[in-house]
Amino acid sequence: MSETHSQDHAAATRRFPPSEELAGQANVGPDVYERAAQDRLGFWEDAARRLTWEKDWDEVLDWSNPPFAKWFVGGKLNVAYNCLDRHVEAGHGDQVAYHWEGEPGDTRTITYAELTAEVCKAANALLELGVQAGDRVAIYMPMIPETIIAMLACARIGAVHMVVFGGFSADALASRITDAGAVLVITADGGYRRGAPSALKPAVDDALGRTDSVRNVVVVKRTEQDVAWTEGRDLWWDDVVGRQSDQHTAEAFDAEHPLYIMYTSGTTAKPKGILHTSGGYLTQVAYTHWATFDLKPDTDVYWTAADVGWVTGHSYIVYGPLANRATSVMYEGTPDTPHKGRWWEIVQRYGVTILYTAPTTIRTFMKWGEDVPAGFDLSSLRLLGSVGEPINPEAWLWYHEHIGGGRCPIVDTWWQTETGAHMITPLPGVTNLKPGSAQTPFPGISAKVVDDEGKELPDDTTGLLVLTEPWPSMLRTIWGDDERYKETYWTRFGDMYFAGDGAKKDEDGDIWLLGRVDDVMNVSGHRISTTEVESALVAHHAVAEAAVVGASDPTTGQGIVAFVILRGAAEDSGEELVKELRLHVRREIGPIASPRQIMVVQELPKTRSGKIMRRLLRDVAENRELGDVTTLTDSSVMELIKEKLPSST
Ligand code: WTA
């Protein structure tokens, strides 16, 4: 641990200025900061003008009823038209939109003209099924082109998509369908993962047994697995989409028309449906994608190696790249199928120039060793990106050297499902890069580090990150729960947005993100709430009480460690039960929430007011000396827990 720390320290003090070549030809130069500082709203107006609007806006920002923002008020546009038709109309129909690669090795190349035609057909199919503007459509899919086609078809007709990550369980899907009131589910028989077909349709069937809003299920054939079929409800994509016309005229919608809902974990067991709307969202994802990645649509081959089921996929596989007419790569499977060099083979095959991924993946590649990427030609790469959690300087340097060949800038982008788009990030042609720090608020974004009272802190002091001005791609509310929206983000500091992240500014004013300060864990870049896992555990008949903490993990950032007290009647407290509980959490939430470790204990440390002291449990989970135990009701509890766990360390 201490060795890593000192290596990290040495790495963190190195600086990487942009090459003269890049600085000279980057899409944005240092002047954007000044422009945005002088006229923030004018700056975002310029960004909005990169899109095609059917009707201009009357007002840039309406903040008369905070925290409910309206951007580009009165403006009208169609999001899918901006991502598709306008590029075809401008003569770029033959440009590749996606080089798609399936895990078994099958490939598809889809041009902008083809994608437009497919989206029109899917839009016509949705209309035939009675889906109307404003209706919610659940999408539960593997990483295949139809997922993107389905999203854009919704956007095209003004339906609100709600993509649920294919790794989530039937339970998680059911609660999201119910909360959103979805009328249609688009799914597939399955997808490929780790060399085998992995089914999706059974989870949909299961979920729909517990919900009543869904009328139809449209099923894409991907793996040719057998599927159960409900006549009258289920339809094959090939039938219902296949027979449609490829012509559909996109209607313009209000700038504030809802575009999608994406559920994310909060501090309670119930996930929050983050609502994004059209004009402001597309403005900021398109502009940040162009500026942060210095995207050159005619020459770049861009790859966000993430799942479309997360916000990173929405903003930087689908909407940003398509709005900018990028040529993208999309890959279905896992990085080590069938071999550990799969990603680098893909980079080599398509000549990828820009790669965007998460620190946890980079650390996994580090573990596999630099010989793996060294076996491939990665010379096409010119820029690298990182997202999802703080990237430790050592991983930054490894990425820089062994993937980027020492020549590619790395943009460490801080943002959230709620922010919709990049908020704090270096700009590749401008910033003197500092490994480990996301550095600078994006032009037009105002961030501060404050104390508990909301007072701005001096440099080098650890505090809380807040955003002090509304931004175009901000969430508009939590679906169906305006109060929770206010409470979660805007009550703590009044008129400032509380991000839930710890942060500090260094003496150069650069921002370092320090992880979540609430009960949200970050496991492999995925947000999982401790409460959600706890309530899954206590839902099991053998468990009386549960406490869950995120313990630091060298690969995944954090790992889930659960402490459970069994019910009196539960006989078995051994390996079998632990296995069963782990399976139970997978079933309730999904494999990503499965605890790394489950410890059966007699008692949990609680304060006199009955709050579980997670801090102490984290100390145990991370094998540290115990911190202050004086506020415990019974300080011998911790001794008991430690005694119970000789093998846990
Ligand atoms: C964390 C993912 C440090 C942070 C886009 C945030 C980061 C949460 C970074 C949002 C980064 C994301 N540096 N921390 N570059 N990017 N985070 O909603 O804790 O899945 O609050 O959005 O991830 O996760 P979410």
Same-domain status, 267 and 337:
yes
pLDDT along the chain (649 residues), means of 10: 55 89 97 98 98 98 98 99 98 98 98 99 98 98 98 99 95 96 98 96 98 98 98 98 98 98 84 97 99 98 97 98 99 96 98 96 93 98 96 94 98 98 98 97 98 93 95 98 97 94 94 89 89 90 91 92 84 83 94 93 78 83 73 70 55
41 belongs to a structural domain: yes
If one residue of 361, 413, 414, 467 were mutated to test the ligand 1 pocket, choosing by the most ligand atoms within 8 A of its CB, it would be 414
222 is known to lie in a ligand binding site: no
183 belongs to a structural domain: yes
Same-domain status, 586 and 639:
yes
Contacts of 321 (CB under 8 A, 6+ apart): 289, 295, 302, 304, 328
Amino acid (1-letter code) at residue 590: G
pLDDT at 646: 42
Domain housing 356: 4-446+481-492
476 belongs to a structural domain: no
Same-domain status, 252 and 124:
yes
581 belongs to a structural domain: yes
Task: Say which CATH number the domain at 558 has.
Answer: 3.30.300.30
518 belongs to a structural domain: no
pLDDT at 637: 75
Same-domain status, 487 and 559:
no
Closest Cα to atom 7 of ligand 1: 389
413 lines ligand 1 (CB under 6 A): yes
Same-domain status, 426 and 570:
no
Same-domain status, 247 and 321:
yes
If one residue of 522, 526, 529 were mutated to test the ligand 1 pocket, choosing by the most ligand atoms within 8 A of its CB, it would be 522
DSSP string, 80-120: HHHHTHHHIIIIITTSEEEEEE-TTS-EEEEEHHHHHHHHH
Same-domain status, 487 and 558:
no
d(CA 186, CA 192): 17
Same-domain status, 439 and 533:
no
Ligand 1 centroid – CA 236 distance (Å): 37
498 belongs to a structural domain: no
Closest Cα to atom 6 of ligand 1: 416
527 is known to lie in a ligand binding site: yes
- ipTM surpasses 0.95: yes
Q: What is the DSSP letter of 287?
A: H
C-beta separation of 121 from 245 below 8 A: yes
Ligand 1 centroid – CA 625 distance (Å): 29
Mark out the alpha helices in 106-164 (DSSP H runs).
112-128, 145-157
d(CA 276, CA 259): 6
Same-domain status, 535 and 486:
no
pLDDT at 553: 92
Same-domain status, 64 and 181:
yes
454 belongs to a structural domain: no
d(CA 429, CA 88): 30
312 is known to lie in a ligand binding site: yes
363 is known to lie in a ligand binding site: no
195 is known to lie in a ligand binding site: yes
Same-domain status, 167 and 273:
yes
500 lines ligand 1 (CB under 6 A): yes
pLDDT at 2: 42
628 is known to lie in a ligand binding site: no
Contacts of 460 (CB under 8 A, 6+ apart): 504, 505, 506, 507
pLDDT at 1: 36
Closest Cα to atom 8 of ligand 1: 416
d(CA 576, CA 582): 10
560 lines ligand 1 (CB under 6 A): no
Buried b (16+ CB within 10 A) or exposed e, 324-356: bbbbbbbbbbebbbeebbbbbebbbebbbbbbb
Task: Say which CATH number the domain at 371 has.
Answer: 3.40.50.12780
Q: Determine whether 127 is exposed, middle or buried from the number of CB atoms within 10 Å of its CB (0-12, 13-18, 19+).
A: middle
431 lines ligand 1 (CB under 6 A): no
254 belongs to a structural domain: yes
Buried b (16+ CB within 10 A) or exposed e, 212-242: ebbebbbbbebbeeebeeeeeebbebeebbe
Overall domain count for the chain: 2
Same-domain status, 172 and 58:
yes
d(CA 395, CA 363): 6
